[in-house]
Amino acid sequence: MDFLFINAKFDGKVELTKEALNYCKKYKILALYSSIQFSTQLDKILKQLEKEKITVITSQPARTNGKYQILGCDLSYENLKLEKKPDAFLYIGDGIFHPRALVLAQKDESEFKEVITFDPISKQLSSLGLKNVKKILKSYKGSLLKFLHSENVGVLITLKPGQQQFNPSKLLKEKYPNKTFYYFVDNNIDFSKAEDFPFIESWINTACPRLGFDDAAHISLPVLNLTDALNLDKLLEKKSFLTE
């Protein structure tokens, strides 16, 4: 089967307004990211920032196909592959899904950097901070602790080829020999179905990690992502926004 990816590039000007540029002047080093609709059209913005003597850094995060591009699943600082720390992040694009990943990526850090967002369509400038994910992080920390004391754990596997992580999830049994893991499979992971399995005390999400944060924060069940379950000891030892 053949695949064709069409970026659906934004068909308009991608440049900062005077107000947005003035706001960026607060910082000397900005890490610039964007969604695929805008990430190949950042030349003008790079020139604007250069003229104001603002250093721009960026990277090609782990699962992306090019520099400047960010995905919603880039939820760890390590995945960003940034070689140096910026003073703030600047996200170019519409919507909140992608820039919120830049906030969540800082959950394991001890110092938070503002995420400035600029939408070239509406020309709106906004700012994201930890307050925007406070409820999510609080709920997630609760899930981590609940998992530690759970004997019966459900592991959710998706059939979607891009998100299916059955093999890595088998490591759970080695890592936690005193827990019993029950494996569940579905196409779309819908947490409301978890109520049908009341013997499960905690759930491990192996599909898109945003499900473990954004979706799970709105339900009462403890849900954590596979990577965090496998690295839980290190995660809880580290002083960070998630564990504080």
CB of 82 to another protein, least distance (A): 17
Nearer to another protein, 161 or 198 (CB): 161
Pick the closer one to another protein by CB: 24 or 136. Answer: 136
Q: Give dist(CA 48, CA 3) in Å, integer.
A: 37
Q: Distance (Å, rounded) from C-alpha 128 to C-alpha 214?
A: 15
Nearer to another protein, 1 or 198 (CB): 1
Nearest to another protein of 92, 230 (CB atom): 230
CA-angle at 128, arms to 126 and 130, nearest 5°: 160
Minimum distance, C-beta of residue 76 to another protein, in the bound complex (Å)? 8
| Selection from 229, 208, 230, 236 nearest residue 74 by Cα | 208
Phi, psi of 160 (to 5 degrees): -60, 120
In the complex with another protein, the residue whose CB is nearer, 10 or 89, is 10
Alpha-carbon distance 101 to 96, whole Å? 9
In the complex, the smallest distance separating the C-beta of residue 94 from another protein, rounded to whole angstroms, is 8
Binding site for another protein (CB under 8 A): 1-12, 36-37, 62-66, 69, 71-73, 75, 95, 121, 159-163, 165, 167-168, 187-188, 206, 208-210, 225-227, 230
Of 2 and 237, the one with the shorter C-beta distance to another protein is 2
Contact 99, 113 (CB under 8 A): no
Q: Nearest approach, Cβ of 119 to another protein (angstroms)?
A: 11
**Helix H or strand E segment including 227:** helix 226-230
- How many other C-beta atoms can be found within 10 angstroms of the C-beta atom of residue 62? 13
Which residues make beta-bridge pairs with 56?
30
Q: Which of 4, 59, 13 is nearest to 34 (CA)?
A: 59
CB of 79 to another protein, least distance (A): 8
